[in-house]
Amino acid sequence: MEKESLPLPPIRCLSKEEASRYLGIGLTLLAELGVPSIKLGRRLVYDVVDLNTWLEEYKRCGRARKETLWPVKPASTGGQIPATGGSMLFYQTANDYEKALGLKTEKKQKRS
C-alpha cells in the first residue's frame, strides 16, 4: 500500500520578489514603503499575514499618509503664535534663562 501524505499548507513566507508581485508593486517601492519583513538566517522574507495587515493599515492612512507624517500644530492653523526675536528690548524667555542659570536679572540703568 502506498503511504498517503497530507497536502502541504499554502506558503506563508514570500521572498521580496514574490512579496512585490503579491502587492502588485516593484521591488524599489517595496523597499521604500517600509513593508514589515522577517530575517530568517541570512534571508529576508515577508509573511503573508503581515503583508495583509500592513496593506489594511496603509489603506486607512490615506494616499499621502499625511495623517502620520505631517501632524498639524494648532498654533499654525489659527491659534496665537508667540512673538520671538526681532529688536525687542525685553522678552520673557531671556529672563527665564537668566534665572535658571543664576545670572543677574536686574535691569541695567541707562547712562546719562
Residue whose grid cell is 499554502: 10
Domain ranges within the chain, ordered by starting residue: 10-69
Whole-prediction pTM: 0.50
pLDDT at 51: 94
Residue 112 has pLDDT above 90, yes or no: no
pLDDT band at 64 (very low <50, low <70, confident <90, very high): low
Range 18-26, long-range pairs (CB < 8 A, 24+ positions): 18/46, 19/46, 19/51, 22/46, 22/48, 22/51, 23/51, 23/55
**What is residue 75's DSSP assignment?**
G
**pLDDT 10s digits, 10-45:** 888 999 999 999 999 999 999 998 899 999 999 999
What Å distances lie between residue 41 and 44, 45, 56, 100, CA to CA?
8, 10, 28, 53
